[in-house]
Amino acid sequence: MKNIRIIPRLDIKGPDLVKGIHLEGLRVLGQPEDFAEYYYKIGADELIYIDVVASLYGRNSLIDIISKTARKIFIPMTVGGGLRALDDIKNVLRAGADKVALNTAAITNPEIIKEASKKFGSSTIVVSIEAIKQPDGRYFAFVENARGQTGIEVLSWAKKVEELGAGEILFTSVDREGTGLGYDIELTKKVAESVSIPVIANGGAGNLEDLEKIIKEGKADAVAIASMLHYDFIKNNLSQRDSSEGNTEFLKSGKTFSKIKTAGVSEIKEYLAKNGINCRK
Amino acid sequence: MKNNKKVAIIDYGMGNLFSVKLACEKVGFDSLITNDKPEILQADALILPGVGAFGDAMNALKKMDLAETIKEFIKSGKPFLGICLGMQLLMSESEEFGMHKGLDIIKGKVVKFSNKNEKVPQVGWNKIIKAKDWGNGLLKNVLNNEYMYFVHSFYCQPVEKEIILSKTNYAKIDYCSSFQKENIFACQFHPEKSGEKGLIIYENLANLCQKKN
Amino acid sequence: MPEEKLEAKYGLPEKVIFCKKCVISNQRPASAVEFKHTLNVGHRTMNIGEDGICDACKFAEKKEQIDWLEREKELLKLLEKYRKNDGSYDCIVSGSGGKDSVQTSHLLKYKYGMNPLTVTWPPILYTDYGLKNFNNWIEIGGFDNITFKPNGRAMRLLTKLAIENLLHPFQTFILGQKNLAPKIAVKYGIPLIFYGENEAEYGNPIADNATSLRDKSYFTAQNLNELSLGGAPVPELISKYGLTMDDITPFLPLDYKELEKSNIQVHYMGYYVKWTPQESYYYAVEHTGFQARPFRTQGTYSKYSSIDDKIDDLHYYTTFIKFGIGRATYDASQEIRNKHLTREEGVALVKKFDGEFPDRYFNEVMDYLEIKPEKFLELCDQFRSPHLWKKVNGEWKLRHTVAKDGADD
């Protein structure tokens, strides 16, 4: 069995690392650079940065953060959020990103997947799919940080993006995201088995068993984790600056999010290894 | 901490050159992203990176007249490093999207992983296993079974087995993940994306330059 | 060409001014006295000072200076007076399982050891995730609840009239909800009532005590002929629309004689505890499994605020028509004050979403109220104030927007 990648996911708004629930809410947890350096040091396999408001607010903050981080961190960085055109992709890669995640741009204009993978290489292009369950049981893909409806069914879209040349799929269950209730195993499995490109499972990790399950039963090729890791980091580390932006009430309170059994990257890899899942040591 | 050595990174329009540049700078290189013949030939070391399709890459190299430049640099005996697609381009031919001729500097074919046993491409970390002694070359100070970062659907099959430095296992195949022939080094993985262990490889490249001088 | 003097309806300020800090305008109405709410009554509106900053933003700034430890001490003293340890209820929390009532009730019960009775005037038309959140509040949060559902016939008629006469779909809900808690308080002998955050009452812990409630109630009972519901005078509701006093009473406050005997107090948790609406969302998810709307609310960018009533979306559309202020403006203003957004981001969001027509539930709501959709749209046009709206190439455009791209900007 191949090595599974453990990938911290950092949601960014302006200068802050934020963490929502169902991709809603902008609770500030600290400075992205601090988290990124920490995760690199303790053995994260890759990093994913998503600018969660770029599409919605028409603002792009990632170039700064990426340029700073790329000089110190030598593992793959995937960057997404508000990338609309080939030029945006070029700029982000130039700033130091290795891969880009496309969602809104890809659904609005699927040809961009084809063009981008031709120009930058398939492996550079990750398509991000945000899935929300509808009242009739179907799963639709959403855009603009889980706000824009598309009416496009998730499975058929996943197959299409593979055809168009995407290198990987970042698959998010918005219903689970930030809740700690576990990944959507059934849905992720359907997606992972219907495409031959790697699928990164995202959204819902609440404890170590969730990670084991999404890999073994959900057939994920990699796992993206946010709340579990971030709330763990802030337990022991202070990551705060005097920023005029962002509401830091939660950070100051010293509280945590009780629905999630936090853990660090090494703890996660140890647990997985004990349960028959290979990871890079 | 500068090492006063110049490395040229070939820009043929493909591949993310900036991570390679950042890694070079981290270990003290003076790095230059270029496709200018004199600049390339003047450098103390040359890196051919690459991401994308083999056929497109060869066309680009030919268009920019880089194939000859690369061969000339290699003749000079200065250290040359091919990374990922850059490794594959050194070979005789590749079966990606039909048969394409490579630079033919290293005899052998480039073939695709079958996706019967694992998803293709391989994206992620994997162990590099000693196929022969690593000596003072590219992999000096790298531990056996060290993890490196791979992104590829194709792999090289060099005819001369004795140039193979390391092998890696994926999709039930033990394939060549790095080789060295004289001053030509090549790795299928991305050392600039393989953490601190990957940076050792860039340090080694710098040291190889100093040795030559 | 002489300058056109544009009529400003509803007693709204003639000149449209936007707050420099948030995105609200001076057209925003303060809470109406719903009983006197007719077309001719002028609204009190948001005050924007000489410095261009609105009162709500000023209040938000003051919030940063408050000694919350002191406030908590005040709360503890208050609760000490009312706490019962014999199984009977010692306070009432009014709400429907949204983030505010969840946080208020949960803090009172689990942090401060009170025994709250939750009291609900349900949404006119529950959304299914709204209903789920309500049930989770009770079942996962663990609260006793009394829900008062008013007679549907009267509710429908009064709501319909409120729309036709005032373009105010939410009047019946506002009335019902506000008046329910005091009635239950008196019936069950639980004088302490808690609401969650309060935007309008700056710095006052006690919005209503028995005296003020009784005064309102006295006023109601003595002057029934001068009161309106749904924009129609009470006598007309009876003579023309066939409603009876029995039908109307649930929407009126408690009898003043009963209130005279009581010593009810209405408090706001937002006075005692630093209230951040967005953090209330996280709190609700954490403690009662609250779920945000599974899609974006039409007319705004948010998903966690006021999501349990299908008529709510329409309500905000009517505020957009009448005051030029849509839901995105309300949401963004709140989030700017709480530092989640910069003003620039707020402007972009208002530009993108404000005034979006809520078609998702529109037909269902119109069916329920037996109003023809075309009639509703006609009403909208009638209610547009000339000083806010201009017709450009056959389409209505706001004259002034916070993004400065209005027809007259």
Domains defined for chain A, CATH in brackets? 5-274 (3.20.20.70)
- Name all domains of chain B by residue range, CATH numbers in brackets: 6-211 (3.40.50.880)
Task: Identify the segments of chain B with pLDDT beneath 50.
Answer: 212-213
Q: Is the pLDDT of residue C202 over 50?
A: no
Q: What is the band of C126 on the pLDDT scale with cuts at 50, 70, 90?
A: very high
- Cα distance from A132 to chain C (closest Cα, Å)? 7
Q: Is the pLDDT of residue C285 over 60?
A: yes
- Residue A257: list chain C partners with CB under 8 A: 282, 286
Closest chain A residue to C292, measured at CA: A22
The answer to whether the CB atoms of A74 and B126 lie below 8 A apart is no
> Which 3-state string (H, E, C) describes chain C?
CCCCCCCCHHHCCCCCCECCCCCCECCCECCCCHHHCCCCCCCCECCECCCCCEHHHHHHHHHCCCCHHHHHHHHHHHHHHHCCCCCCCCEEEECCCCHHHHHHHHHHHHHCCCCEEEEECCCCCECHHHHHHHHHHHHCCCCEEEECCCCHHHHHHHHHHHHHHHCCCCHHHHHHHHHHHHHHHHHHCCCEEEECCCCCCCCCCEEEEHHHHHHHHHHHHHCHHHCEECCEEHHHHHHCCCCCHHHHHHHCCCCHHHHHHCCCEEEEHHHHCCCCHHHHHHHHHHHHCCCCCCCCCCCCCCCCCCCCEHHHHHHHHHHHHHHCCCHHHHHHHHHHHCCCCCHHHHHHHHHHHCCCCCHHHHHHHHHHHCCCHHHHHHHHHHHCCCCCEEEECCEEEECCCCCCCCCCC
The answer to whether the CB atoms of B19 and A120 lie below 8 A apart is no
Q: What is the mean pLDDT of chain C?
A: 88
Output C8 or A36, whichever has higher pLDDT: A36
- Tens of pLDDT, residues C91-100: 999 999 999 9
pLDDT reported for residue B26: 94
- Cα distance from A215 to chain C (closest Cα, Å)? 26
Q: Region C264-284: what's the mean pLDDT? A: 90
The answer to whether the CB atoms of B193 and A96 lie below 8 A apart is no
- Cα distance from B18 to chain A (closest Cα, Å)? 6
The answer to whether the CB atoms of C279 and A27 lie below 8 A apart is yes
pLDDT reported for residue A266: 94
pLDDT reported for residue A254: 80
The answer to whether the CB atoms of C339 and A246 lie below 8 A apart is yes
Q: What is the mean pLDDT of each run of 10 residues along chain A (281 residues)?
A: 94 91 90 94 96 77 86 95 92 92 95 94 94 90 87 95 96 92 94 95 95 96 96 82 76 84 94 95 87
Q: Is the pLDDT of residue C54 over 60?
A: yes
- Residue A3: list chain B partners with CB under 8 A: 124-126, 147
ipTM over 0.85: yes
pLDDT reported for residue C200: 45
pLDDT reported for residue C31: 64
Active site residue A153: no
